[in-house]
A = this chain, B = another copy of it.
């Protein structure tokens, strides 16, 4: 089966958490909006009046299934490709961690868009600066401290022990993205999260991920995605 991934063209964004899982699994997939009529196809599916229309990208077509919401897609892929425990308890635990990543991703997005996603960054520079301050002072230490603690108490190299899960892949992306968006702040901050830095490096070194990151399937970070480099916010 060939998966079809639908996501906004030209950015990593939330689609990247799905791409990393597909790539690690060595799954066959089309990144649909890279194709000529991909964007039109995506919009058509979002406007469908029946079936299971998604509220927003990313969404994944897997044979007859059309699955929306990043964490929901990962819940599905995790079971199919050995990227999550098989038992219910472990499955719920990894999903819980992923939903906490989801919350963090939104807070990262809100550092540059505190007044909402419909306005431009340029129209909310002041509030963005305030929100970024609060994010780095209060919120990020809380989130990454939480994940660091879980890694510390793990019996293996990954969040839940000796088997990599999709949540590990997502945390790689968090570290990678924060390094891009806030190089100055992140450099100082990383000293306090050796576990996450180690996890990041182990993910980056996995053969499938390494090949993916070096390929042109991986978009470069840019100022249209979740992680945006604005000098005013990285002080």
Contacts and interface: CB of A to CB of B under 8 A. Distances in A.
A49 B153 contact: yes
A110 B110 CA distance: 10
Contact of A89 (B65, B92, B106): B65
Contacts of A100: 55, 68-69
A92 to B, nearest CB: 6
A100 to B, nearest CB: 5
Q: What size tier do the contact residues of chain A reach?
A: 35 or more
A116 interface: yes
Contacts of A117: 139
Which of A53, A96, A134 has the most chain B CB atoms inside 10 A of its CB? A96
A110 B124 CA distance: 15
A216 interface: no
Interface string A156-168: 0000000000000
Contact of A134 (B116, B131, B146): B116
Interface in A63-78: 64-65, 67-69, 71-72, 75-76
Contacts of A143: 55
A110 B127 CA distance: 13
B95 A72 contact: yes
A215 interface: no
A115 B114 contact: yes
A69 B96 contact: yes
A65 B92 contact: yes
A135 interface: yes
Given A114-B115, A127-B115, A138-B116, A72 B96 contact: yes
Given A52-B89, A69-B95, 16 more contacts: A52-B93, A52-B96, A53-B146, A53-B149, A55-B100, A55-B103, A64-B89, A69-B100, A71-B99, A72-B99, A75-B92, A103-B106, A106-B106, A110-B110, A114-B127, A115-B131
5 contacts: A55-B100, A72-B95, A75-B95, A118-B137, A119-B134
